[in-house]
Homo-oligomer: A and B are copies of this chain.
Amino acid sequence: MEVVRAVYSLAVDEARVSERAAALALEQTVELPRSSVRDPFVEREIVGRVGAVEPDSGGGFRVEILYPLATTALDPAQLLTVLFGNASLQDDVALVEVDAPLSLVEALGGPRFGIEGLRAATGVEARPLTCAALKPMGAGPEDLADLCRTFARAGIDVVKDDHGLADAPFCPFEARVAACVAAVERAASETGRRALYVPNVVGPPGVLGHRLERARELGAGGILAAPLVLGLPAFWELARDAGLPVFAHPALAGAARVAPSMLLGTLFRLYGADAVVFPHAGGRFPFDGGVCRELADRLRRPREGLRPAMPVPAGGMSVERVEEMVGFYGADAILLVGGTLYEAGPELEARARAFVERVHRAAEETAE
């Protein structure tokens, strides 16, 4: 029987761990006391089974639960219910690992472009890609297009919207995409290299399909979306239908009792992200180096049926940290410097160019 393997960290002592693990397996499937499960089909094919139980470093236990695949109905929303629906309401449990069987991997689909598709789209073969963000919310399409052209001329590979850029009267989505794509084209006619412009897509599901279509028609090079803001099932549909590389943004993804490297590294990839933005250690967010390394590893490690995805370390990075980041992530990464570029004011293009050159140089030196 195919199973989804989930691992939880349980903050309980040894005397209680067996009972607590069994309760968790029931809670996430039949939501009934064991004694009330009488149907042999339900016992055999539905109830979660407790697997390995071992002490963890925090004084609690790592507990493996094996869920029959049938419980998920191969539905990207139902999968979340099974993995952590009710358990999320109990404060002694955290979800730390999910391992999907191949048929679930294929149902979810994972990255449609992945690292290879992003390299093909940008024409960058072996070094890390560079990325900058269009800011701030409140700027109009023409102002953002000017910035876009500046970054593209400076040699930035991917120019993405800030994740706060929605579809507002002061900056309508279509006008922004049209202006920024035109800016990228103008820069390409000057430099001979075309940057990827990646607009942010946000909204209730009913508007996403139309935005996606317009982004494609207008010539966007990818889209940015926040899976936890849209909801993972809506993100999954977006990735399935995009026809463009999908960059995942971590907004709203941090407050959960779900291991961040697993959520952003494993689940975002499974649900279809081609590139995942996350805060690198030492910026404005408390992810440490261990979490970042693990996250990048989860995005890139070989996995049957699943393309590798690009890590996009960000979150208050600066040009000064380029060498460190290239050393840390290697070539299969997209380095995103956001707000700190803007401190250069009128020297923005020179600053962006310095970023680009440092990445290229650091990659060459690492390769030597």
Binding site for B on A (CB under 8 A): 23, 27-33, 35-37, 39, 41-42, 45-47, 70-73, 75-78, 80-82, 84-86, 88-91, 94, 133, 135-139, 143, 162-164, 166-170, 202-206, 226, 228-237, 250-258, 279, 284-287, 315, 338-340, 342-343, 345
Contact = CB atoms under 8 A, between A and B. Distances in A.
B81 A164 contact: yes
B137 A29 contact: yes
Contacts of A315: 89
Number of copies: 2
A75 B163 contact: no
B138 A39 contact: yes
5 contacts: A23-B284, A46-B136, A77-B229, A85-B229, A89-B315
Contacts of A136: 29-32, 36-37, 39, 42, 46
Contacts of A256: 255-256
Nearest to A40: B138
A230 B231 contact: yes
A163 B87 CA distance: 13
The 10 closest A-B pairs by CB, nearest first: A231-B231, A85-B251, A89-B254, A205-B205, A30-B136, A42-B138, A46-B138, A255-B257, A88-B255, A88-B254
